[in-house]
Amino acid sequence: DELDSQDLLQNIRAGVWRCNWRTPDYLNRADYAGEYLAVAQLYPSLATITGSYVERRSATSELTISGVSVAGAQPDLQFIVQHAVDRRRWSSEGVFGTNGRLLGLRGLYNFGDSAEEKTVGEGAGRGRISAGGEVYFGAQEASGGMSVGMRYRDGQPLLSELTCVLNPIMGHVSLALTRELRSRMCAAARYDFNAFSLSSELAVGVEWQLDQNSIVKARWSDSQGLRCLVDTRLNNMVFSMGLDLHGDMATTPAATGIKRFVRSFGLQFQWFL
């Protein structure tokens, strides 16, 4: 559930949040070409700096460069370069990462009537089936992989989406169902299963946009327990607060007070000039 970086910046400047499922209008505008967004984050406790640079090369293509720098006894520097093209009917993305010298290629094709390309979730039309896949190769380990998937999306009366992803080499299957419960509220469930290890995991989540400036998210899974996140906008600043609770109280070491329930707590402030 990521917002496009350009769409996010425009929304913050305008003082509103948009549902991530809406199709952004920049696909119809060529004047976005050349605009960019640069972001950097410092984590003093981890001696780590992360950064991203996103540039819209044209109305349908975008270049992203991300990096991580770690200081200390074993310093490390890694970069990931991604170039994405979105033509509505089809999209593709090429990826290169310095970690393991990874090369990857992804593609997606949308079947059905192109009239459905109107804003999804607002009476856009009948459902659409999409199919895609990815292949990747790590030169350092001389290993590769692939995955294929299909998605069905229906926008009437509320948006719903069913996705299935299969990785035949790893024996992994993932099923996900997303549903818009009402205006500004959506829920999702995902089930992962590995045919080789016979392990599985269930995760469910809810996202609720309280108003134009606040979003609440909650997620629960078998392995990670309950996680909550609140995003609030104030002028040009975005304030985020997260809470991570223990998943299985029966296996939690004996403790007293709030330490028995809370695994981690975090705050984040972002300022947009």
pTM for this structure?
0.69
**pLDDT at residue 211 in the model:** 83
Q: Inform me whether the pLDDT recorded for 114 exceeds 90.
A: no
Listed residue (198, 140, 144) closest to 169, CA to CA: 144
198 φψ region: left (φ > 0), alpha (ψ -120 to 50), beta (else): left
Report the first-to-last Cα separation within the chain, whole angstroms: 24
> Quick count: other Cβ atoms within 10 Å of Cβ 193?
15
136: its two tokens:
């990747």
- CA gap 131, 108 in Å, rounded: 6
Percent of the chain, pLDDT > 90? 47
Output 18 or 235, whichever has higher pLDDT.
235
**Span 227-252, average pLDDT:** 80
Q: Inform me whether the pLDDT recorded for 59 exceeds 60.
A: yes
Q: Inform me whether the pLDDT recorded for 9 exceeds 70.
A: no
* Cis bond upstream, residue 75 (ω within 30): no
When pLDDT is cut at 50, 70 and 90, the band that residue 90 belongs to is very high
How much is the mean pLDDT over the chain? Answer: 81
